[in-house]
Structure 1
């Protein structure tokens, strides 16, 4: 066994592994997977210093807020599936750009 295999994982590392092992680890189900992975990578790289990763966390929250808004709108308008397929997402980002100026291009 290598040293990495023998190393005891911290509780934060265990949570991180559980998150990555869930079904939410696909772009089809998790619209903010890229932002989630970036924040987890930042935490790992910074030695789990939350202050150093605050921009990544805010970006993830913005992403979740955006897609929750889209899902609510689709549900309200009777559009199914509520979570849009990956192929429709770029068009929705452009459509909602005026309402959410923080949204990147």
Structure 2
């Protein structure tokens, strides 16, 4: 009984030391087979024309907004609110909400 009590007390003091050893091991490096993370940052492409500057905004390769800045006049926006490729003209953009989630992808 006495040996069992001594072994139990030694075990209690050894547990924190073992936990420190386990914590010092670095996590494994990711393999190259993992797919790349989906970027949620829009791609911006600026096209300079003779009479205007066109700025295209794309998310995952899909065009969702175009800003047209003519040399003379106020800039305006063409926005695709539904994601179907049908653009609507708007003179100002207040709170544009771009869907950043994907339900299905083919």
TM-score over 0.5 (shorter chain): no
> If each structure's helix is expressed as a fraction of its own residues, which one has the higher value?
1
State the TM-score, normalized to the length of structure 1.
0.21
Q: State the structure with bigger RCO (CA 8 A, min sep 6), 1 or 2.
A: 1
> If each structure's strand is expressed as a fraction of its own residues, which one has the higher value?
2
Larger Rg: 2
